[in-house]
A and B are shown apart, each in its own frame.
Chain A
Amino acid sequence: MSTPLKNMKCDEVKLMLAGLADGRLSERDARAVEEHLAGCANCRQELESLKSDAALLRQDPKPEVPVWLASRIMAGVRERREQARPQLASTAPVGQYGLSRSWARAAAVVLAVAGIWLGTLLGRGIAGSQPSLGERLAAYGVQILDEEGM
């Protein structure tokens, strides 16, 4: 507790009373709270009520743990482990060039854009009187693929 512990007010003490009732305050905090309690009947009464509430709650019997639960948990863990295996495989390199799936997707997008750009250039070539870019490239034995051909 970072607040000065001497001359604590009731509001500050009340926040610590549950800890005192359950025996979980540090020695220093417990001493400070007890000093306050010595002169405060209201807080003493509050402490008794907290102890009584805790005693009542503790009479609730412990729930019975199903005997099969540990086995059920491990079955779930094994199942999840099996499910995780194909996911690990999916991040492995794809194809002979060792490209991951995300890189392969990015490459496909770049090629598609390049294809559209070349298509536009070819269209302009056909419209004019000069040989098109396609015809000129064909003269060098280069064939241009459209999007579908990629």
Chain B
Amino acid sequence: MVSRNDDGQLVAQAQAGDLSAFDELVRRHHGPIYCYLYRTCRNGAEAEEMTQESFVKAWEGLRGFRGRASFKTWLYRIATNLCINRVSRRKPQDPLSEEMPASRRDEPEEVLRQRLLSERIGRALEALPADQRSALVLSIYDEMSHEEIAEAMGRSPASVNSLLYRARIGIRQALEAAGARSLMRVPAIGNRGFRVYTIEEHEV
């Protein structure tokens, strides 16, 4: 039975052919990798498939992993390569994200706002080139440092600064175009938590 705390020990055991050690690595990292891929491709089935493929590739390439980067950033690098290749192979006419279910009349306002906001953020992210989108998702949602992003994307830290800057400019324009900002929760004046936003004015 395996009882380990750090990835390094698990990786060493998995490199020696211990499948249960690799299973533990999968359990630790599959969630963040899935969320990263989902956010970059906005499609659950594709994200699931690419997450599986990332780990299968990791298993196959494990003997070549020397530990210069962390196992986590190495996994992200595999996932990033898969994702960028897949996104750049898409034809312009292909629908990018899965369609959101139609809204229901009885849907609570907060649920509706959240759903619309998510859809519009997704549309804004899709407007970015694949490498900018990956860098932005790693920075905002995975909270990686620029050095970690550089490792995960196989780039220099300086080029990541520039890539992220372009991504931030691009996402601002895309968020405006998608109408996401009007659905943002903003702090209320005083101590009442958040100001109530109105959804009636937005098309559903």
Which residues from chain A sit less than 8 Å from chain B, CB to CB? 14-19, 22, 24, 49-50, 53-63, 65-66, 69-70, 72-74, 76-78, 80-81, 84
Contact = CB atoms under 8 A, between A and B. Distances in A.
Contacts of A65: 30-31, 34-35
Chain A, interface SS category: helix
Interface of B: 19, 22-23, 26-27, 30-31, 34-35, 38-39, 44, 47-48, 51-53, 55-56, 59-60, 114, 117-118, 121-122, 136, 139-141, 143, 145-146, 161-162, 164-165, 168, 171-172, 175, 180-181, 184-185
Contacts of A74: 19, 22-23, 26
Contacts of A62: 35, 141
B146 A59 contact: no
Given A16-B161, A54-B140, A60-B121, A24 B184 contact: no
A14 B51 CA distance: 34
9 contacts: A15-B165, A17-B165, A49-B172, A60-B117, A61-B114, A73-B55, A77-B56, A77-B59, A80-B60
B48 A72 contact: yes
B164 A69 contact: no
B59 A19 contact: no
Given A19-B161, A66-B48, A80-B59, A73 B26 contact: yes
A80 B35 CA distance: 24
Contact of A56 (B161, B164, B181): B181
